[in-house]
Chain A
Amino acid sequence: MLIKIIPEIGHFALVIALLMAVVQAVMPLAGAATRRPLWMAYGRPMATGQFLFVAIAYLCLTASYMLDDFSVANVANNSNSLLPWYYKFSAVWGNHEGSVLLWSLMLAGWGYAASVFSGDLPRDMVARVQGIMGMVCVGFLLFILMTSNPFERLLPNMPQDGADLNPLLQDFGLVVHPPMLYMGYVGFSVVFAFAIAALLGGRLDAAWTRWARPWTNVAWAFLTVGIALGSWWAYYELGWGGWWFWDPVENASLLPWLTGTALVHSLAVTEKRGSFKSWTVLLAISTFSLSLMGTFLVRSGVLTSVHAFANDPSRGFFILMLLAITVTLSLLVFALRAPRVSHKVGFNWLSRDSLLLINNILLVIMTVTVLLGTVYPLILDSLGLGKISVGPPYFNALFVPLTVVMCVFMGLGPVARWKSMSGRELWRKLGLAAAAAIVLGVAMPLVYDGEWNLWVSLGIISALWIVLPMVRDLFDKTRHASSFVAGLRKLSLSYWGMVLGHVGIAVTIVGVAVVSNYNIERNVRMSPGSTVEVAGYQFTMTELTNRRGPNFLADTSIIQVQRGEEGRSFVMRPEKRLYLATGMPMTQVALRPGLFRDLYVAMGEDLGDGSYAMRVQYKPFVRWLWLGGLLMAFGGILAVADKRYRRAAARQAKPVHTDRSTSQEATV
């Protein structure tokens, strides 16, 4: 009996959370505007309460899934009694309503954290941040309660069993990818709230950036991991061996990542030098708006891909309105309250400031090109001007050269001084690194493949050009220490964070360059006894059998793999599964991962005469893609762990002067 009440408790909790969010949205902002401490004090308890009640609602939904309560429509549509428990747990966010509830939970969580960890911020600033986060929460809770309620019931005729989770989602990827991604998307709401709060309060000095930086870095790190996981998941789940398709949904996650990266760097400049203030605020607004836009693209059914759950136009309309209101209001506040731009530029054309400016510009250009390619077909379609598609050739043609250009500047940035740097000194430091990068980059394809390849060389040169200057810089910084290790120890965590972040990108670029150019794919017809040779490995199908899994039937093939004549021998077992509840087929790829190469075997189609069409692929360096992503994220987290963010001393908010001393700094 109690089980039947749980969804109702969850529903009620959401309503309470909405009410608290409304109070949180209104009172602190009103209090900050009229300077009433009592009103401002509403912020923290409301943020806490809202988090608590959304958490209760989320727990209720999870409980309904785990207890197989098929009277709840959401559970009936997305779960099944045969589903393993860990997939029931993740199925909560494997559908539209549940995933929006997860979004709200994370939003409430980040809001709560921002309230709690804002120790020495001025009270009115905290109040405004809470107020703005409250407004976003109201938007999403309204969205849930009005269009996407996960607690709808199917009483009194509840089904015997559920429709089962989409087989493509019955995978470890579902357990990790969406939560990481959402933590990133939602995390950018904090820096957004900070930016708007700073605008509203007229307190647009550089100090707000110091408070905002850790939050932004963490959100960015989560988003990086989320995107890397998505790519990895698509790679082994979809059965084609691809890792990035320029699919609109993938682009939707890349866009806030690109502006988020620009934001992370822009915040650094604003904190250190007090410049780029308005630009940083604009980036904060853009990043969160792109997060919302990503949500719109995925949730409204405007696109059809593996991710499209929602086909209800009212949902799309609601999110579009939410997006429009957010963007309009925030840009309005920006237009009215942005500080007047100072008349002095304050830095030389060759300086870390200008290099970071160029970095930002390039990232924005990349964002706009990806945005254009993603949104153009939708706009044309909505205007009735035809149904077109924009494919990978467009994105690759623009994105790859822009990345190479960005890498050129990425090599210089970490080594350049703030405000002004002499070209001769830069050349003296980096000339050797440049020569080494070019020589090694040009040599690499010749050594690897015997034939020169422009794109591989460009990729290797770019990656080396990012890494080698930093190595040189490390030596320079540790020259005066008692020993190399002692010198390394003295360097701040934020510096190491920067190093790791940049190394991460270099690793990813190497992965992309090598796997895109040197991967080998063979589609062959195989039956027991046949052998195919790919990249020095012999793949022999020894058996074609079938088996029964917990909720599927499968055709399994046993592939014996032998490396060369004398090499190691192992077995791979790809499968073609048929999930019973939905009747959907799915490919279970057999992977032999390695740091320098992956072997990838997938079953294609049953050709009817005892043979199967098989995909056999050799993918060199593909793991470097995701390894790079992990390194980047780790770097972002490391930067946040830096001592200066942990100093307990109460700080007054002080405006930062723009003409700082030009000493080379070990911190970033």
Chain B
Amino acid sequence: MTPKRKQKLFVILGLLSLTAIAVGLTLYALRANINLFFSPVQIAQGDAPMERQIRAGGMVKEGSVSRDPESLDVEFVVTDYVDDLEVYYSGILPDLFREGQGVVVVGELQADGRLYADKVLARHDENYMPPEVAQALEEAGYSPADFQAKAAEVGKRLEQEGSPEGSDY
């Protein structure tokens, strides 16, 4: 083999091994960091893993938001109108967070059945029910259409009757 060819071979081998390492690391990092989504019905059925970061979402149940008067702790219930999920969070809720609107929380499910959220993301969807929730309902064996209608009905009603923040002018 000529020296040039040898040099080329080393270059190619080097590139291939770098690529293999890169791909390996990437896939490992990807697998370890994918957050799966669960709807309250799936959590109630026991499909969701415990003590691991998951995403859960649904609509914020009417009248379920309660804040601790001393700190920034807040509890609320996330529902897909089939099952409920209690969520506990300490922090500031996003601007678009409303009862009857969609929400996605990221956190860990604990043994007491509550989800301790690290992040709360409000989802303002035209259909009120986020698409992931509808899909999760379908996977759990329910027909999403009925529950989407219920979500829309509650959502619309609360939007119209509820006053937006800062309406005491």
Interface string of A373-387 (1 = CB under 8 A from B): 100100000000011
- With both beta carbons as reference points, the residue of chain B lying nearest to A311 in the complex is identified as B126
**Contact status of A553 and B22, CB under 8 A, knowing A523-B92, A524-B72:** no
Q: Does A581 contact B (CB under 8 A)?
A: no
Whether A387 and B22, one on each chain, are in contact in the complex, defined by CB atoms closer than 8 angstroms, is no
Whether A553 and B166, one on each chain, are in contact in the complex, defined by CB atoms closer than 8 angstroms, is yes
Whether A585 and B164, one on each chain, are in contact in the complex, defined by CB atoms closer than 8 angstroms, is yes
Whether A606 and B72, one on each chain, are in contact in the complex, defined by CB atoms closer than 8 angstroms, is no
The smallest C-beta distance from A269 to any residue of chain B, in angstroms, reads 15
| Cα distance A613–B97 in the bound complex, in angstroms | 14
Which of B7-15, B77-85, B108-116 forms part of the interface with chain A? Answer: B7-15
| Cα distance A613–B91 in the bound complex, in angstroms | 8
Interface string of B42-59 (1 = CB under 8 A from A): 000000000000010000
The smallest C-beta distance from A254 to any residue of chain B, in angstroms, reads 16
Looking at the complex, which one of A365, A389, A606 makes contact with B165 (CB distance below 8 Å)? A606
The smallest C-beta distance from B14 to any residue of chain A, in angstroms, reads 9
Looking at the complex, which one of A391, A524, A585 makes contact with B166 (CB distance below 8 Å)? A585
Looking at the complex, which one of B11, B22, B55, B164 makes contact with A389 (CB distance below 8 Å)? B55
The smallest C-beta distance from B90 to any residue of chain A, in angstroms, reads 8
Whether B34 and A609, one on each chain, are in contact in the complex, defined by CB atoms closer than 8 angstroms, is no
- With both beta carbons as reference points, the residue of chain B lying nearest to A552 in the complex is identified as B166
| Cα distance A398–B25 in the bound complex, in angstroms | 8
Q: Does A649 contact B (CB under 8 A)?
A: no
Whether A387 and B33, one on each chain, are in contact in the complex, defined by CB atoms closer than 8 angstroms, is no
Q: Does B132 contact A (CB under 8 A)?
A: yes
Contacts of B123 in A (CB 8 A): 304
Whether B166 and A546, one on each chain, are in contact in the complex, defined by CB atoms closer than 8 angstroms, is yes
Whether A343 and B30, one on each chain, are in contact in the complex, defined by CB atoms closer than 8 angstroms, is no
Looking at the complex, which one of A343, A368, A523, A578 makes contact with B4 (CB distance below 8 Å)? A343
The smallest C-beta distance from B72 to any residue of chain A, in angstroms, reads 6
Whether A587 and B22, one on each chain, are in contact in the complex, defined by CB atoms closer than 8 angstroms, is no
Rank and list the top 6 A-B pairs by shortest CB-CB distance, nearest first.
A604-B92, A394-B33, A585-B95, A613-B92, A393-B33, A397-B29
Interface string of A510-530 (1 = CB under 8 A from B): 000000000000011100000
Contacts of B64 in A (CB 8 A): none
The smallest C-beta distance from B41 to any residue of chain A, in angstroms, reads 15
Q: Does B37 contact A (CB under 8 A)?
A: yes
Whether A523 and B72, one on each chain, are in contact in the complex, defined by CB atoms closer than 8 angstroms, is yes
Whether A585 and B29, one on each chain, are in contact in the complex, defined by CB atoms closer than 8 angstroms, is no
Whether B29 and A394, one on each chain, are in contact in the complex, defined by CB atoms closer than 8 angstroms, is yes
The smallest C-beta distance from B77 to any residue of chain A, in angstroms, reads 18
Looking at the complex, which one of B7, B29, B72 makes contact with A613 (CB distance below 8 Å)? B72
Q: Does A586 contact B (CB under 8 A)?
A: yes
- Categorize the interface residue count of chain B: 35 or more
**Cβ contacts A to B, 8 pairs, < 8 Å:** A345-B8, A369-B22, A376-B30, A387-B135, A388-B35, A394-B33, A553-B169, A604-B93
Whether A388 and B34, one on each chain, are in contact in the complex, defined by CB atoms closer than 8 angstroms, is yes
Whether A607 and B67, one on each chain, are in contact in the complex, defined by CB atoms closer than 8 angstroms, is yes
Q: Does B26 contact A (CB under 8 A)?
A: yes
The smallest C-beta distance from B35 to any residue of chain A, in angstroms, reads 5
- Extra 8 A-B pairs, beta carbons < 8 Å, given A393-B33, A586-B95: A343-B4, A372-B30, A390-B33, A394-B32, A394-B33, A397-B29, A585-B166, A606-B165
Q: Does A583 contact B (CB under 8 A)?
A: yes
Q: Does B18 contact A (CB under 8 A)?
A: yes
| Cα distance A586–B167 in the bound complex, in angstroms | 14
Interface string of B133-169 (1 = CB under 8 A from A): 0010000000000000000000000000000111101
| Cα distance A368–B21 in the bound complex, in angstroms | 13
**Contact status of A546 and B169, CB under 8 A, knowing A389-B55, A397-B29:** yes
| Cα distance A607–B71 in the bound complex, in angstroms | 10
Q: Does A277 contact B (CB under 8 A)?
A: no
- With both beta carbons as reference points, the residue of chain B lying nearest to A546 in the complex is identified as B169
Contacts of B164 in A (CB 8 A): 578, 583, 585
Whether B37 and A605, one on each chain, are in contact in the complex, defined by CB atoms closer than 8 angstroms, is no
| Cα distance A390–B18 in the bound complex, in angstroms | 24
- With both beta carbons as reference points, the residue of chain B lying nearest to A576 in the complex is identified as B166
The smallest C-beta distance from A624 to any residue of chain B, in angstroms, reads 27
| Cα distance A609–B91 in the bound complex, in angstroms | 17
Q: Does B63 contact A (CB under 8 A)?
A: no
The smallest C-beta distance from B123 to any residue of chain A, in angstroms, reads 8
